[in-house]
Amino acid sequence: MNGHSERSKREATPIQWPDGKTFAFTIFDDTDLAALSRLRELYSFLVDLGMRTTKSVWPIRGQGESKVGGATCEDSEYLRWVLGLQRLGFEIALHNVAPGTSQRAETIRGFKRFRNLFGHDPDTFANHVGCTEAIYWEDARLTGSNRRFYNLLTSNKRKNAFKGHVECSPLFWGDICRERVRYVRNFVHDDINTLKFCPLMPYHDADRPFVNAWFASSDGARVNFLLRRLARSTRSGSRRKAEPVSCMLILGRTSTSTGN
């Protein structure tokens, strides 16, 4: 982050949503386990509500074995449906270029295909579970004692495991990220007010120069847990009226935990 000056500026200028609105809400849909049999009804409901959210995709099937897969843009029926979402005003984002690990050449191919399909590079990106070309992922997101503590908690099993930002690695694509992606998702939290636990987003981290700007999200994959949090938020509504509220909810995630 850019230090005290940016923090003070943000705190001195509270966010005011357009038209006097008191909060903002959106969804970033991780494409894990994507299947038209489940997605069509969900997105039809969002359209009926007048909402236009973010749907992530894998532009190519890739060569790597996937830990968690789903439909890709090489499925013609699925691609037609996604292009239909884009025409309706939904943002199409990237969740790595394929469901499995991709080396640099394949990542470049995936970016080219994304641009060919959707007419532009992805504005937003989120790392996908199991893709070891993930950029600044797991312990690489952290610094100093936080990083050491994280590796201790995970028994060093994820230490230096992800290589998208490592220039000497065949999985490196940091320069492509910096050139072609505006925002990358970082931490995910249980609090439904995303802006409360990450008030500076979008923010730049000078120690991680291949990402232009980071954003955070709130965990929406565990439905029962989410409903409990919403109920708690409703009961404490009078307190929340005094603070800016923005909820960027994640759907489709297959692995969830606080701060992960």
- What SS3 class is residue 214? strand
pLDDT, residue 138, reads: 92
CA distance 48 to 251: 18
pLDDT, residue 197, reads: 85
Q: Is residue 11, in this structure, part of any structural domain at all? A: no
pLDDT, residue 23, reads: 83
Q: Is residue 17, in this structure, part of any structural domain at all? A: no
Q: Is residue 258, in this structure, part of any structural domain at all? A: no
Q: Write the burial class of residue 11 (CB in 10 Å: 0-12 exposed, 13-18 middle, 19+ buried).
A: exposed
pLDDT (tens place) for every residue of the chain, 260 residues total: 333 333 333 343 566 778 888 888 899 999 999 999 999 999 999 999 999 999 999 999 999 988 898 999 999 999 999 999 999 999 999 999 999 999 999 999 999 999 999 999 999 999 999 999 999 999 999 999 999 998 999 888 889 999 999 999 999 999 999 999 999 999 988 888 898 888 888 999 999 999 999 999 988 877 777 777 777 765 565 445 556 667 887 776 543 333 33
Residue 68 DSSP one-character state: S
pLDDT, residue 190, reads: 83
pLDDT, residue 35, reads: 95
Q: Is residue 15, in this structure, part of any structural domain at all? A: no
Q: How many domains does the chain have?
A: 1
pLDDT, residue 245, reads: 67
Q: Is residue 36, in this structure, part of any structural domain at all? A: yes
pLDDT, residue 9, reads: 37
Instruction: List the domain range (segments joined by +) for residue 83.
Output: 26-251
Residue (of 51, 92, 48) closest to 73 by Cα position: 92
Q: Is residue 164, in this structure, part of any structural domain at all? A: yes
Q: Is residue 100, in this structure, part of any structural domain at all? A: yes
Q: Is residue 209, in this structure, part of any structural domain at all? A: yes
Residues whose CB falls within 8 Å of the CB of residue 138, separated by 6 or more in sequence, listed in order: 150, 154, 158, 159, 161, 162
- Please give the backbone phi and psi of residue 189, each rounded to the nearest 5 degrees, phi first: -130, 160
Q: Write the burial class of residue 177 (CB in 10 Å: 0-12 exposed, 13-18 middle, 19+ buried).
A: buried
